[in-house]
Amino acid sequence: MIRIYNTLTQQKEEFRPIQPGKVRMYVCGMTVYDYCHLGHARVLVAFDVITRYLRHRGYAVDYVRNITDIDDKILRRASENGEVFSDLTDRMIQAMHEDEARLGVLSPTQEPRATEYIDEIVAMIHKLIQGGHAYAAENGDVYFSVDSFAGYGKLSKKKLEDLLAGARIDVQEAKRSPADFALWKAAGEGEVSWPSPWGDGRPGWHIECSAMSTCCLGDTFDIHGGGPDLLFPHHENEIAQSECATGHDFAKVWMHAGAIRVNKEKMSKSLGNFFTIREILESYPAEVVRYFLVSSHYRSQVDYSEENLAEAGRTLTKLYHALRGIVPAKAGDVAETEYDRRFMDVMDDDFNTAGAIAVLHAVANDINHHRREGRDREASESATVLVRLGAILGLLQQDPEGFFQADTGGELSAEDIEGMIQARADARKAKDFAEADRIRDDLADKGIILDDSREGTTWRRG
């Protein structure tokens, strides 16, 4: 039995999908005006693991993650760059896909773009107006009337009267109440626009997700997820407009990933502690970054620091060390073990990846024990279990030597290192041990660690 913490009810609940054996999940994706940052990576990896685990448990998962490709930020950035907005979004989408692939994030089942759903957005707005939940203002904008939805605030637990207290309407806006929000924005002279019954314009941000999610998954679906900053107002507004438009409950379970902090401060551009995924991957292997994100529960805050990433690298290295030099047994020859059951127990409890990581290290300890005792078959079978469970978290799928020798932009290439190892071997053969030690120390100074055994010398980046 899988139990999930539901933000809507603020408690863990037994997960019962609407359609047995099938999960329909929508996660708010990127607004593609810039490169993805570490906060995006947090959400991407968290829901990737959730998808992998649900599939491991036998569910057919229809995972929809949208792309917002029309927005004020996009238009401003395109104007600053002197380019067509679609050229900017196409470039950023390609970069996003590259970042996802490096982090081992599987592609969603569907990846709708807002600009592909303009007709559906217009139709939903029209239905809201007809139902008395929205109104067209004199300036060509269309607003959702928040006080027309009695359930407003049920996700964020905010009260409408508190939101209205002291709130003011911008003089440029024509809405009736300060809490009302835009569904359609009238286009200014020369701005990107689409035709509508209320004049040329473009959709507001919130209505995009309501239209895309219901078109892709139906009026009611199982899980809606996203980052912590989306809970209010974005997700609250989605609920209001969707339930008013369809007359049905929107999503059964709401899930929100935890925030990223940098050196114990909230990550933000204004503080200068803002990192893109590709900046981080210039210094750290992608699997180390993924391990760092997975090793904390998806709802917890993650404190990003050089020290914490280095520690993630050290602990992931321990797992790969356990696999090094072992040929895993064929997967079909290794039955479910106690470790498989322990892994599922912790993951069934709101996808507790921190507990799952502890199980991986317990398996690694078993492999090392079997190896020391000379029990090669048991070590091989345990290696299969480790790789099998690691796959559910998107980890440990590399050849160990490939992991240890991955080029992270260091001073020495693999060819350089192999050449120095051969020079050291030649020095040792000539009994020039001082030269051999010098080469080893030189490699160590450059972060290359040598491991000597009866089978020869292997190396890894430290």
Return the domain boundaries, the chain: 3-257, 261-404, 414-461
Whether 461 shows a pLDDT value over 60: the answer reads yes
Fold matches, 3-257 and 261-404:
no
Whether 376 shows a pLDDT value over 90: the answer reads yes
What single DSSP character describes residue 329?
P
- 216 annotated among ligand-binding-site residues: no
Q: How far apart are CA 322 and CA 341, in angstroms?
A: 21
pLDDT for res 269: 64
pLDDT for res 166: 65
Whether 410 shows a pLDDT value over 70: the answer reads no
The pLDDT confidence band at residue 422, using thresholds 50, 70 and 90, is confident
Identify the CA nearest to 237 among candidates 169, 117, 156.
156
Lowest-confidence segment of 11-15, 28-32, 71-75, 443-447 by average pLDDT: 443-447
Compare 448 and 324 and report the one with higher pLDDT.
324
The pLDDT confidence band at residue 428, using thresholds 50, 70 and 90, is confident
- 133 annotated among ligand-binding-site residues: no
3-257 fold: Rossmann fold (3.40.50)
261-404 fold: Four Helix Bundle (Hemerythrin (Met), subunit A) (1.20.120)
Compare 209 and 444 and report the one with higher pLDDT.
209
Mean pLDDT of 339-344: 98
- Mapping DSSP to helix (H, G, I), strand (E, B) and coil, where does residue 278 land? helix
- 209 annotated among ligand-binding-site residues: yes
Mean pLDDT of 372-400: 96
* Of 302-306, 332-336, 385-389, highest mean pLDDT: 385-389
The pLDDT confidence band at residue 405, using thresholds 50, 70 and 90, is confident
- 28 annotated among ligand-binding-site residues: yes
Mean pLDDT of 404-428: 77
Mean pLDDT of 100-111: 98
pLDDT for res 15: 98
Mean pLDDT of 58-87: 96
Whether 409 shows a pLDDT value over 60: the answer reads no
The pLDDT confidence band at residue 291, using thresholds 50, 70 and 90, is very high
Whether 6 shows a pLDDT value over 90: the answer reads yes
pLDDT for res 190: 87
Length of the chain: 462
Q: Where do the H-state alpha helices sit in 349-458?
A: 353-372, 376-392, 400-404, 414-429, 433-445
Compare 439 and 227 and report the one with higher pLDDT.
227
The pLDDT confidence band at residue 171, using thresholds 50, 70 and 90, is low
pLDDT for res 427: 87
The pLDDT confidence band at residue 210, using thresholds 50, 70 and 90, is very high
Whether 159 shows a pLDDT value over 60: the answer reads yes
pLDDT for res 460: 74
pLDDT for res 115: 98
pLDDT for res 374: 93
Identify the CA nearest to 28 among candidates 306, 225, 293, 298.
225
Task: Give me the percent of the chain exceeding a pLDDT of 90.
Answer: 77
- 215 annotated among ligand-binding-site residues: no
pLDDT for res 462: 61
Distances (CA, A) of 338 to 48, 72, 359, 362, 389: 25, 53, 10, 11, 12
Cβ-based burial of 406 (10 A; exposed 0-12, middle 13-18, buried ≥19)? middle
Whether 192 shows a pLDDT value over 60: the answer reads yes
Mean pLDDT of 241-263: 95
What single DSSP character describes residue 247?
S
Q: Where do the H-state alpha helices sit in 57-195?
A: 72-81, 85-102, 118-130, 160-164
Spatial contact of 155 and 235, defined as CB atoms under 8 Å apart: yes
pLDDT for res 233: 95
Mean pLDDT of 156-165: 87
Q: How far apart are CA 206 and CA 268, in angstroms?
A: 23
The pLDDT confidence band at residue 436, using thresholds 50, 70 and 90, is confident
Q: How far apart are CA 10 and CA 1, in angstroms?
A: 19
